[in-house]
Amino acid sequence: MITLHLIRKEHRADVHLTIRIIIILPEDRIILYMLTITIIGSGYVGLITGICLAERGNTVTVVDIDEEKVRVINAGEPPIYEEGLQELLKKHVGVSLHASTSYTSVSESDVIFIAVGTPPLPDGSADLQYIRSAAEQIGIALLEKHVKYPVVVVKSTVPPTTTRDIVCPAVKKHMEEPFGCCMNPEFLREGRAIEDFMHPDRIVIGSDDEEAIAKMKQVYADFDAPILVTSPTAAEMIKYAANAMLATRISFSNEIGNVCKKLGIDVYEVMKGVGLDNRIGPAFLNAGVGFGGSCFPKDVSALASLATSVGIDPILLHSVITVNDNQPSIMMALLEERVHDLADKQIAVLGLAFKDNTDDIRESRALCMIELLREKGARISCYDPMAMEEVKHIFPASQEISYMSSAGDALDGADACLVMTEWPEFEKLDKEFSRMKTQIIIDGRHILNIPHAEGLCW
């Protein structure tokens, strides 16, 4: 059976018709082309999910309370840096993707994703106020009008039971008609998020509801990846456990690296040998100054806090955080061994973003290092290809800290240099180091290709 739905759509000044084709195959297998999708939250996850689903042929509205962000998106400009985002926005904004401050598109959506933030509370647990409020507002929007069996999907990283015990009941409180609920974690890396969304290793659909699962399979019909259907709580836990596993591998490599450094062994040779074991694999074994970003620190803390709340002492997770927190101090100790008194010394800090290919500085190790250097009275000359404007909001340019337009300029006259981010352009640095007053160079990311650089833990 083939059903054609003609839907009148009004977006800004445009009015257009959407043709939705539903093909129902034997055994209730359904192919549904062109879904209408609303994404609540146009942050990193929401916007990438929205633009990628628009690229896959769906009609998408991203909703955000931030009027300026909505304006910027509707102007086709990326509010964040992400490779490929600008091109996709230019292609889809005003055609198949729109941003709005209102929840009105929810009522005509087949699938409504919740992709709002879950920032950490002081005890490390996730703050769910934005999730709760989004679910309530979705319920209110669906009360008036809705398509047949809309599916509400939690995309945000949330502690297990949130979808079942908070999101579904909050929607249900307002919406009496049947609807589906689902948890669908994201595994996107910043800087490579579009590539990761389009070519995922796996897609996890957490739901106990066959109709919701079928609709979610339609969302991902064109994706070439295994689909794992789990309970909503398992899907929620998969996200935390995956991030905790990756963070654990990094802290493990850092601890091995710290031992290797004392013994004069190159931890990169060691981890190459370790990672060639098929049971282990080579990814996320790069030792250095530690992990940052919006996910690993927050998610490992949230998981530790969750464990404590159910009476489990999360010994390993606490250690993962402790090892990570210590790496900047270990770098500082090495610097002090080489420079001795840091007061009034000029230290070049190369790299401010929490990793390469992003302007994101959340939990960046460079910020911890700058704090430590300031405590010692050092003068800091920094350079980052993308993240300097962000850091200036925290440490405005002053006598203590200056922002230079190239790595070479940051190195000019420096008493020492610290490499904090794995930017590929640092691989090519060479003669720039001859501009330093003293060539004390500590590489925190194993990115330099010069023989006189000293590794942090190799």
Catalytically annotated residues: 295
d(CA 303, CA 174) in angstroms, rounded, equals: 31
For ligand UDX (CB under 6 A), the number of binding residues is: 20
Stretch that binds ligand UDX, among 30-38, 89-97, 282-290, 329-337 (CB under 6 A): 282-290
Instruction: Decide if 365 contacts 289 (C-beta within 8 A).
Output: yes
Which parts of 97-116 interact with ligand UDX (CB under 6 A)? Answer: none
Shorter beta-carbon distance to ligand UDX: residue 48 or 135: 48
CA count, 13 A, side-chain hemisphere, 23:
5
CB of 195 to ligand UDX, least distance (A): 12
Which parts of 339-398 interact with ligand UDX (CB under 6 A)? Answer: 354-355
Rounded (10°) CA dihedral 125, 129, 134, 139: 110
Shorter beta-carbon distance to ligand UDX: residue 170 or 370: 370
Rule CB under 6 A: choose which of 80, 284, 319, 374 binds ligand UDX: 284
Shorter beta-carbon distance to ligand UDX: residue 250 or 388: 250
Q: Which of 345, 370, 376, 388 is nearest to 444 (CA)?
A: 370
CB of 271 to ligand UDX, least distance (A): 9
Q: Which residues, at least 6 apart from 149, have a Cβ–Cβ distance to it below 8 Å?
A: 178, 179, 180, 211, 212, 215
Rule CB under 6 A: choose which of 100, 163, 286, 305 binds ligand UDX: 286
Rule CB under 6 A: choose which of 50, 200, 292, 328 binds ligand UDX: 292
Shorter beta-carbon distance to ligand UDX: residue 159 or 288: 288
Rule CB under 6 A: choose which of 103, 252, 291, 423 binds ligand UDX: 291
CB of 284 to ligand UDX, least distance (A): 4
Rule CB under 6 A: choose which of 46, 232, 257, 288 binds ligand UDX: 288
Shorter beta-carbon distance to ligand UDX: residue 190 or 415: 190
Instruction: Decide if 421 contacts 410 (C-beta within 8 A).
Output: no
Which parts of 33-52 interact with ligand UDX (CB under 6 A)? Answer: none
Q: Which of 436, 442, 438 is nearest to 455 (CA)?
A: 442
CB of 285 to ligand UDX, least distance (A): 6
Structure tokens at 307: 């464990």
Shorter beta-carbon distance to ligand UDX: residue 291 or 403: 291
Question: Is residue 188 within the footprint of ligand UDX (CB under 6 A)?
Answer: yes
Shorter beta-carbon distance to ligand UDX: residue 41 or 150: 41
Q: Are strands 441-443 and 379-383 parallel, antiparallel or unpaired?
A: unpaired
CA 161: distance to chain centroid?
Answer: 22
d(CA 215, CA 179) in angstroms, rounded, equals: 11
Question: What letter would DSSP give residue 348?
Answer: E
CB of 253 to ligand UDX, least distance (A): 7
CB of 202 to ligand UDX, least distance (A): 11
Shorter beta-carbon distance to ligand UDX: residue 189 or 392: 189
Which parts of 405-424 interact with ligand UDX (CB under 6 A)? Answer: 422
Stretch that binds ligand UDX, among 76-84, 173-181, 281-289, 343-351 (CB under 6 A): 281-289
Alpha helices by DSSP H, listed for 173-231, are 193-198, 210-219
Rounded (10°) CA dihedral 211, 217, 219, 224: 180
CB of 360 to ligand UDX, least distance (A): 8
Over the window 230 to 269, marking each residue x when it contacts ligand UDX by CB under 6 A and - when it does not, the resulting string is: -------------x--x---x-------------------
Question: Is residue 62 within the footprint of ligand UDX (CB under 6 A)?
Answer: no
Q: Which residues, at least 6 apart from 181, have a Cβ–Cβ distance to it below 8 Å?
A: 151, 152, 153, 163, 164, 167, 168, 171, 207, 209, 212, 232
The percent helix, strand, coil of the chain (3-state, each to 5) is 40, 20, 40
d(CA 205, CA 230) in angstroms, rounded, equals: 6
Over the window 429 to 458, marking each residue x when it contacts ligand UDX by CB under 6 A and - when it does not, the resulting string is: ------------------------------
Question: What letter would DSSP give residue 104?
Answer: G
Question: Is residue 189 within the footprint of ligand UDX (CB under 6 A)?
Answer: yes
Query: By CB neighbour count within 10 A (0-12 exposed, 13-18 middle, 19+ buried), where does 274 fall?
Result: middle
Distance, first Cα to last Cα, the chain? 64
Rule CB under 6 A: which residues touch ligand UDX?
186-190, 243, 246, 250, 284-286, 288, 291-293, 295-296, 354-355, 422
